[in-house]
Structure 1
Amino acid sequence: MELISSDKRNQLFERFAHDAFHLELRDDYSVPNEVGPFEDWLNGRESDDSFMAPWLQLMKRVTESGKTVRRVRVVTEPHSPYIQWEHATTNVNEEAGELIRWLPRHKLPAGLHFPVDGNDWWLFDDKLLAVGHFDDGGRVLGSEIIDAPEIVAECIRVRDLLWSIATPTNEYQL
């Protein structure tokens, strides 16, 4: 399996035509550039969002051009500190144009099977997947690109189901 870097994956946002969708299934995405802001938030200090500037600029450019970027975050309740921080700071993603919904893990439909071994994924224009892979410590290893029609179709089905039952950020209470 060949993995591409997060930077290469982000280049896919420059090429998609209509819709990008991210399914998030992890309760912690702590990555090195988030450690300081997350610790500030945990300690009641105002956190600096500047580490997100490149992503937010990309999202703003993409969404202002008429494209849609959506996420469903499947989360465990009670929420991990990371998910609490993510919820508290989601406004900056939404201000950049992302549409984000939340779904408690215990409200998942019975028998739901997650494609691609239960990994997170980005789906671009219902044609291309960038499947996230992580090591045992939660560190991002990279993304696997998949365009197999049967796998993409299963991800479309899961996306449509979860989007329809997930709760928008402004209505989701921690």
Structure 2
Amino acid sequence: MPSNVPPPAFTDLLAGATRSAVHLEMRDTYAVDYESGPFAAWRDGHRLDPADRASWWRPWLDLVEETVARGVIIRRARIVSEPVSEYTRFLHSFTFTNVAAGEQVRWLPRRRASDIALPGNDFWLFDDHTVLWNHFTGDGASAGGEVAVDPAAAKLCAEAFETVWARGIPHDRYAIH
């Protein structure tokens, strides 16, 4: 149910989480700047140095570390087509930073998700009751977010996420195809 009230800032939603924050990503590509930025640098051969934590994606990883330190479990699951898109290869190449910051990450090949009832949009679910829907345009650009505190939506998201999680492959064991 869209409203004219802008959703709370993501950082506020995460700061309010007391037990869990789960994120389900279902797109094979998101907005990509092919000419400049991290994706372009990756295409040109740049890779993050595991020993140079200061060069990693900040402030996101700092926020993850702070959140996990207060006892919140953060899990991310990605449903991906295989063979994977170039963008998914890019994501996979630096996901070790998310894991190092305290996120748990799993990958699920799309062919293994066919019988899962999935929401129509990517989402974050905080403490099993607050959903942040992530809306995207056809070319992967963000079209904003929408918060739902709806028990039915939260239940759908929780069940979908847990099923994807149970079938997913931990990041350190997922081989790109």
- Aligned-partner Cα distance in 1 for 2:139–2:110: 21
Q: Post-superposition shift, 1:71? A: 0.6
Q: TM (normalized to structure 2)?
A: 0.87
Pair 67,35 (structure 1): closer, same or farther in 2 beyond 3 Å: farther
RMSD over aligned Cα atoms: 2.2
In the other structure, the counterpart of 1:124 is 126
Asked if the contact 2:30–2:139 (Cα under 8 Å) also holds between the matched residues in 1, the reply is: no
Q: Post-superposition shift, 1:154? A: 1.3
Q: Post-superposition shift, 1:35? A: 4.5
* Aligned residue type for 2:44: N
Match runs of 1:5-154 below 5 Å? 8-30=9-31, 35-46=36-47, 50=55, 52-110=57-115, 112-115=116-119, 118-154=120-156
Q: Post-superposition shift, 1:46? A: 3.6
Structure 1 alignment gaps of length 5 or more: none
In the other structure, the counterpart of 1:161 is 163
Task: Please state whether the residue corresponding to 2:28 is helix, strand or coil.
Answer: coil
- Aligned-partner Cα distance in 1 for 2:74–2:124: 10
Q: TM (normalized to structure 1)?
A: 0.88
CA offsets, 1:140-167, max 9 Å, x none? 1211101111111111111111111100
Q: Post-superposition shift, 1:113? A: 2.4
CA offsets, 1:113-158, max 9 Å, x none? 212xx10000000010000011222111211101111111111111
